[in-house]
Amino acid sequence: MIAVIVLGGWEIASRANPHGAFFWSMPSKIAQQVWTWMVEGTSQGSLWAQIGVTMQETVVGFLLGALGGIIGGILLGRNRMLADIFSVYIKIANSIPRVVLGSIFIITLGLGMASKIALAFVMVFFVVFGNAFQGVREADRNLIANARILGASNRQLTTSVVIPSALSWITASLHVSFGFALVGAVVGEFLGSRQGIGLLIATAQGSFNAAGVFASMFILAVVALVAEGLITLLENAVLKWRPAVSHD
């Protein structure tokens, strides 16, 4: 109902003010633009090819960043000496605006997928790393002490107690980090690319096509919602042991 009111008001206001419609377009033109891209393709080729390129960059960067963040967070969370050594460098790296690195990656890695994957990786890594590190540090000390009394080795302690305890933290970070991976891929394409949704946005901006910009945003929103649903399914499968949350 809210969406209908907002879109309807937007359409009416845009039709009443053609000057404003040039800058903000209108829902009917945005829908028409999406349909045109689906049927006739874009200036860069098939719409599905553009979506496929962006999704490939996003998914690869997301998986690599999540894997690196999980491994790094667990290693440093379990080893205080490593945490003390690398904490300063991690803080310095984390303080650098990640989007700015897109230009560096394009200069060093070129206009292909590698530079977009690298930016998506950096966007994801620190989010997942921070949650994995904190999740390991927040593991129940009583469970760890009991496991040690029962003769558990450090490896058994990590795999059987610490990692399961940190899973809630890690899976929570995945919801946010996929969005960051998508942002990294699109920003990288916007800065310099041969294909992708980011290039569609840059092309639409260059031709003052507001409908094209909003249409690209709509496509990205749909992709993000689908990915959110898949991550939720993964979270539910991994955390089956978690007690159900009461909504009373």
- Binning pLDDT at 50, 70 and 90, where does residue 233 land? confident
How far apart are alpha carbons 162 and 157 in whole angstroms?
6
CATH of domain 50-196: 1.10.3720.10
Predicted confidence (pLDDT) per residue in 12-53, tens digit: 888 888 777 778 888 889 999 999 999 888 888 899 999 999
Quote the mean pLDDT of the chain: 85
Per-residue model confidence (pLDDT) at position 242: 58
- Binning pLDDT at 50, 70 and 90, where does residue 213 land? very high
HEC sequence for 91-125: HHHHHCCHHHHHHHHHHHHCCCHHHHHHHHHHHHH
Q: Read off the pLDDT of each residue in 131-159 and give the average, rounded to a whole number.
A: 79
pLDDT over threshold 80, residue 248: no
pLDDT over threshold 90, residue 80: no
The string of DSSP letters for 173-231 reads HHHHHHHHHHHHHHHHHHHS-SSSHHHHHHHHHHTT-HHHHHHHHHHHHHHHHHHHHHH
How far apart are alpha carbons 125 and 37 in whole angstroms?
33
Q: Read off the pLDDT of each residue in 194-212 and give the average, rounded to a whole number.
A: 89
Packed helices 197-206 and 47-78: angle between N→C axes, nearest 10 degrees: 120
Domain residue extents for the chain? 50-196
- Binning pLDDT at 50, 70 and 90, where does residue 71 land? very high
Per-residue model confidence (pLDDT) at position 217: 92
- Binning pLDDT at 50, 70 and 90, where does residue 240 land? low
